A and B are shown apart, each in its own frame.
Chain A
Amino acid sequence: MTLVTSDPALDDRQLVQRVGRGDRAALAELYEQHGGWLTIRLSRRCGDPDIVDTALQDTFLAVWKQAKDYRPTGEVGAWLWTIAVRRLIDQLRKRPPPQPVADVQPLADVIIHEVPLALGHTELGAAFGSLDPELQAVMAATALDGLTNKEAAALLGIPVGTVKSRLSRARQILQEVLS
């Protein structure tokens, strides 16, 4: 049975704190709440369902271990996502997909589904849309997923230097478009 509280965010934090005290039922509920969207979002970064499933399981195993150190500052969802995307990168490092992720559907999904939602139909959104998909991908990976250049390189399957040069090219184009 779930306590119905007015603030779902508060509910989430209490769940994580209970997980931190070793409450397996709380972990199950946290999974119930967040497992679905994490799977959806991870699938947009990686086309291999096996890797996504492993990353998802690793995420909740990490949550089980780290929950007692969790500081209730931001959204629980954001905390979960930072863990999940790094577990995904760990998996990609262990068994890189045969072709770079950037070449396949998943990252196009990020650009189609998430970036417009994040930026809206604004001047910013239009400017972002004018970038090449590969430039959009590095910006989404670094800004939207909060990854370091090195992590973004692992996720996209490209060298770190390429991430840096694409980022600076993207910034340059955006400055021109928006000025």
Chain B
Amino acid sequence: MTSSAAHSIETALARAAERPRFLAEAGADTGGAAGADAGRLAANFAGIEAELDAPPASRLARLLGLLGVDDRTIPLVTATPSLRRSWLVSIVIAVLFAINVGSTSSADGVDRIVVFLTMAPLIPLLGMALAFGPAVDPTHDIAVAAPLDGFRLFLVRSITVLVTSTTVLLIGSVLIPEGGGYRVAWLLPALAVTTVTMALATRFSARRAAAAVGVGWLLVVTIVAGAADTAAAFGPGVQITSLAISIVGFVTFTRRRQRLDALSMS
């Protein structure tokens, strides 16, 4: 008949919950072992003060936090040199330039698409070259000395470069009035050259790898475009090949991960 039996227990518990301090301190007969000694309390307050004194997180860091990127990865992303504003501005200018050059050199606009598609994969390559190495990376010394997983650092930075480049390039693609589906035909080639660079970077420096792959890409475009028309140069054959190369490149990169300790990242 007392259907409120459980309810009255919950009410009594909830009333007691209004005095949490009493519950904690009156029940703390287990002594300091489970509780809080002065040293631990002081250390925790020092942690709180350090956090309050730390410079506020950048807008990018907060955005990444909202997207669910974990706290330890965020600094790796935001410290990527090629994320700096100057680099972003320069790739935006490069993309606009590519769109513009094409439009003035040809009336029908076919060349514009070729120029854009040829140049697009070079943007992430440039980003890769600028993301690693002592000349451009102010955190290089720290990265070399830190007991960080070199593979993880390299992967995080490569993805960062790829995501930012792809975003700018996609906006560029939208700005080109013609070309249809070919406007995004650079996506898979860009992925392919990036993963090949990542794979080669396990053996050579990222800058050399990026430079070599960039030259290779220009050669391939010249040969393929010389042999066939524009459509064929970025047609299904090239797309499928690019996808295959991307997979092989990424597998090679992950297989050789142990070579990416911090010291090899020069």
Binding site for B on A (CB under 8 A): 24, 27-28, 31, 34-41, 43-44, 49, 53, 56-57, 60-61, 64, 74-75, 77-78, 80-81, 94, 109, 112-115, 117-119, 124, 127-128, 139-140, 142-146, 170-172, 174-175, 177-179
Distance of A106 from chain B, by nearest CB (Å)? 9
10 other A-B residue contacts (CB within 8 Å) besides A31-B45, A57-B51, A113-B27 = A41-B24, A44-B27, A49-B40, A53-B43, A57-B48, A139-B10, A144-B13, A146-B17, A175-B5, A179-B5
CB distance B21 to A37 under 8 Å? yes
CA–CA, A34 and B36, complex, Å: 11
With contact pairs A117-B16, A144-B14 given, residues A36 and B35 touching in the complex (Cβ less than 8 Å): yes
What's the dominant secondary structure at chain A's contact region? helix
- Closest A residue to B36 using CB positions: A39
Q: Once A and B bind, how many residue pairs between them come within 8 Å at the CB atom? A: 144
A35 and B44 in contact, given A40-B28, A175-B3 (Cβ under 8 angstroms) = yes
Query: Of the candidates A43, A61, A117, A177, which one forms a contact with B34 in the assembled complex, judged by CB atoms under 8 Å apart?
Result: A43
Nearest-Cβ distance from residue A4 to partner chain B, whole angstroms: 19
B45 and A35 contacting across the interface, CB-CB below 8 Å: yes
Q: A85–B25 Cα gap in the complex (Å)?
A: 17
**Which residues B1-34 have CB closer than 8 A to chain A?**
1-3, 5-6, 8-10, 12-30, 34
The answer on a CB contact under 8 Å between B26 and A179 is no
Residues on the A chain within 8 Å of B41, using CB: 31, 35-36, 39
Known: A117-B27, A144-B17. A61 touches B51 (CB 8 A): yes
Listed from nearest, the 7 A-B pairs whose CB atoms lie closest are A113-B27, A118-B16, A171-B6, A39-B36, A178-B5, A143-B13, A37-B24
CB neighbours (8 Å) of A27 from chain B are 48
Assembled-state Cα–Cα distance A139/B16 (Å): 13
The complex places the Cα of A158 from the Cα of B183 at a distance, in Å, of 50
CB distance from B5 to the nearest CB of A (A): 4
For the complex, give the distance between the alpha carbons of A75 and B47 in Å.
Answer: 26
Q: For the complex, count residues of B whose C-beta is within 8 A of A.
A: 41
Of the candidates B2, B34, B36, B45, the one whose C-beta lies within 8 Å of that of A178 is B2
Shortest CB distance A131–B (Å): 10
Which of A44, A127, A145, A175 is within 8 Å of B17, CB to CB? A145
Cβ–Cβ < 8 Å partners of A114 in chain B: 16, 23-24, 27
Whether A78 contacts B8 in the complex (CB less than 8 A), given A39-B41, A117-B27, A144-B13, comes out as: no
B contact face: mostly helix, strand, loop, or mixed: helix
Q: How far is the CB of A136 from chain B (nearest CB, A)?
A: 10
- The residues of A that contact B15 with a CB separation of less than 8 Å are 118
Interface centre among B17, B24, B25 (most CB of A within 10 A): B24
Cβ–Cβ < 8 Å partners of B145 in chain A: none
B228 at the interface (CB under 8 A from A): no
Q: Are B17 and A36 in contact (CB under 8 A)?
A: no
Report the separation of the CA atoms of residues A27 and B52 in the bound assembly, to the nearest whole angstrom: 11
User: B38 — nearest CB in chain A belongs to which residue?
Assistant: A36
A179–B2 contact, CB under 8 A?
yes
Distance, CA A127 to CA B232, complexed state (A): 81
Whether A78 pairs with B9 at a CB distance below 8 angstroms is no
Across-interface contacts of B27 in A (CB, < 8 A):
44, 112-114, 117
Contact with A146, one of B6, B14, B35 (Cβ below 8 angstroms): B14
**Contact indicator A117/B23 (Cβ below 8 Å):** yes
Within 8 A of A (CB), among B41-63: 41, 43-45, 47-49, 51-52
Query: Within the complex, what minimum Cβ distance (angstroms) separates B178 from chain A?
Result: 49
B17 in contact with A78 (CB, 8 Å): yes
